[in-house]
Amino acid sequence: MKIIVATYGTEGDARPFAALCRGLMDAGHEARLLADAGTLGSAQALGVPTTTLAGIFAALSVGTMPSLV
Task: Read off the pLDDT of residues 55-67 as tens digits, 9 standing for 90 and up.
Answer: 665 566 565 555 5
Domain annotation covers residue 69? no
Residue 32 in domain: yes
Q: Is the full-model pTM beyond 0.85?
A: no
Please state, in angstroms and rounded to a whole number, the distance separating the CA atoms of residues 68 and 16.
Answer: 33
Q: How far is CA 65 from the centre of its chain?
A: 20
Identify the domain containing residue 42 by its residue range. Answer: 2-61
Is residue 42 one of the residues assigned to a domain? Answer: yes
> Could you tell me the pLDDT band of residue 54, with boundaries at 50, 70 and 90?
confident
21 assigned to some structural domain: yes
pLDDT per position as a tens digit, 1-44? 999 999 988 899 999 999 999 999 999 999 999 998 889 999 99
In a domain, 66, yes or no: no
Is residue 67 one of the residues assigned to a domain? no
How many domains does the chain fold into?
A: 1
What integer pLDDT is reported at residue 44 of this predicted model?
A: 95
CB within 8 A of 46, min separation 6: which ones?
18, 19, 21, 22
Query: Can you point out the beta strands (E) in the chain?
Result: 2-6, 30-36, 50-53
